[in-house]
Amino acid sequence: MGPWLLTATALVLFMTIPGLALFYGGLVRAKNYLSVLMQCMAITGVVTITWMVAGYALSSTDGNALFGTDFSQLLFWATPQADLAGAAFGLTFAVITPALILGAYAERVKFSFVLAFSVLWSLLVYCPLAYWVWMTPEGSPLTLITNGLHPIDYAGGLVVHQSAGVAALVLAILLGKRSGFPGAMQPPAQPGMVMIGASMLWVGWYGFNSGLAGDMTEGGYIIFNTQVCTATAVIAWVAFETIRGGKPTLVGAATGAVAGLVAITPACATVSVPGALILGVVAGVVPQLVIPLVKSTFKIDDALDVFAVHGIAGISGTLLLPFLALIGTNGTPADDTGAQFIAQLWSVVASGVYVVIATLIIAFVVRAIFGMRAEDEAVADGLDLSSHGERAYDLS
């Protein structure tokens, strides 16, 4: 499926710019809209260079138990032309992962921190996780207690979404709350933009999940599971927010779609179609239960709910996939469901601990050099003007 891989690469890049940028941009206040778009654009730039210099070599070449060691691939110095299509596809995953994190520190972070943190985090967190999961090295930390059985994570529920969600929670705690949190926060400034961004993510996710499908049969199976889970999550999210006494909101529907996309990501080539529907219900309900725990109970200002929507939904898909493959007849069950669940659970725990520790160290180092939180006056003026000298809308 060579031509499809190139198409999928474009679709996944489209997920970050402009899909994620518009989705996140619509959720923040109008005075911070451009700052989110700028952060997504800049992360795309610096992580591309990071991937070219060292990320590909560390994550996608043969090596030891911890990282790739074919250093002839540094700077793509000796990489065959035939490998560049796969490298480009992998690059788009490396780009979107740190971009997801920015939803936690939106509206109050220094731009210099965003750039430096994204470079180091992609090298020291994303690349090792991608190597452990997708290169399946013998003796990796994810197989220490599983007799060598590796976790199933077809497209990044663990590598991309859990890691981004956990890192987002860590940074939200370190950065502190926005003024007025939680009681006096303004609603999203542009719900329509949220829906447009989520729709771009939805379409792009077809490439995200099925880009490496071996043939049309596997690709169709993955895409159909992706659609069923996502559509179900939209309805489940809207229904649950209505049952809880609210109204069915466009922002809720868009957020539910993203949660469904995240949940099916690790499981898209494993669960049956009925299993995808069940997973969609989980994705539409469970993050809504976690959001008030994070914001109201623990008073953590994860601005755009990255931990709940990406971390929790990604973990849900990772843990449930061995069981949801058994429902109906068109799943891809593991050889040993119980053993596979243990492998999934251990991978969630081990990778989560690693992400917390590594994110803390990276954040402390970058904060010591560049600072982390924007000045109060800059936050009050809005990061569009104070950080970038631009306004999204000139109403004068």
**Tens digits of per-residue pLDDT, 140-190?**
999 999 999 999 999 999 999 999 999 999 999 999 999 888 877 788 999
pTM for the model stands at: 0.97
pLDDT tens series, the chain, 396 aa: 589 999 999 999 999 999 999 999 999 999 999 999 999 999 999 999 999 999 999 999 999 999 999 999 999 999 999 999 999 999 999 999 999 999 999 999 999 999 999 999 999 999 999 999 999 999 999 999 999 999 999 999 999 999 999 999 999 999 999 988 887 778 899 999 999 999 999 999 999 999 999 999 999 999 999 999 999 999 999 999 999 989 999 999 999 999 999 999 999 999 999 999 999 999 999 999 999 999 999 999 999 999 999 999 999 999 999 999 999 999 999 999 999 999 999 999 999 999 999 999 999 999 999 999 999 999 999 999 999 999 988 755
Residue 396's pLDDT is: 52
Residue 306: Cβ-neighbour burial (10 angstroms; 0-12, 13-18, 19+): buried
Asked whether the beta carbons of 100 and 159 are under 8 A apart, the reply is no
* Residue 148 DSSP one-character state: T
Asked whether the beta carbons of 156 and 263 are under 8 A apart, the reply is no
Measured distance CA(203)–CA(222) in Å, rounded: 13
Asked whether the beta carbons of 270 and 255 are under 8 A apart, the reply is no
pLDDT tens for each residue of 230-279: 999 999 999 999 999 899 999 999 999 999 999 999 999 999 999 999 99
In b/e form, how buried is each residue of 12-42, taking b as 16+ CB within 10 angstroms?
Answer: bbbbbbbbbbbbbbbbbbbbbbbbbbbbbeb
Q: Where are the domains of the chain?
A: 2-382
CA geometry: angle at 305 spanning 171 and 233, to 5°?
A: 145
- Alpha helix segments (H runs only) across the chain: 2-14, 21-27, 33-50, 56-60, 84-105, 111-121, 127-134, 163-175, 191-210, 216-243, 250-264, 273-292, 306, 313-324, 337-370, 376-381, 383-388
Measured distance CA(137)–CA(134) in Å, rounded: 8
Q: Which of 37, 44, 158, 35 is nearest to 94 (CA)?
A: 44
Structure tokens at 223: 């895409």
Measured distance CA(384)–CA(85) in Å, rounded: 36
Residue in this structure with the two tokens 């939904």, named with its chain if needed = 313
Residue 395's pLDDT is: 59
Helix 127-134 and helix 337-370: axis angle, to 10°?
Answer: 170
Asked whether the beta carbons of 125 and 61 are under 8 A apart, the reply is no
Measured distance CA(24)–CA(273) in Å, rounded: 30
Helix 84-105 and helix 127-134: axis angle, to 10°?
Answer: 130
CA atoms within 13 A on the CB side of 147: 4
Residue 323's pLDDT is: 98
The residue type of 165 is: G
Residue 180's pLDDT is: 83
- Fold assignment, 2-382: Ammonium transporter fold (1.10.3430)
Structure tokens at 20: 């994620």
Max CA-CA distance within the chain? 66
Measured distance CA(76)–CA(235) in Å, rounded: 45
Asked whether the beta carbons of 352 and 166 are under 8 A apart, the reply is yes
Q: What is the DSSP string of 93-129?
A: HHHHHHHHHHHHHTTSB-HHHHHHHHHHHIIIIIHHH
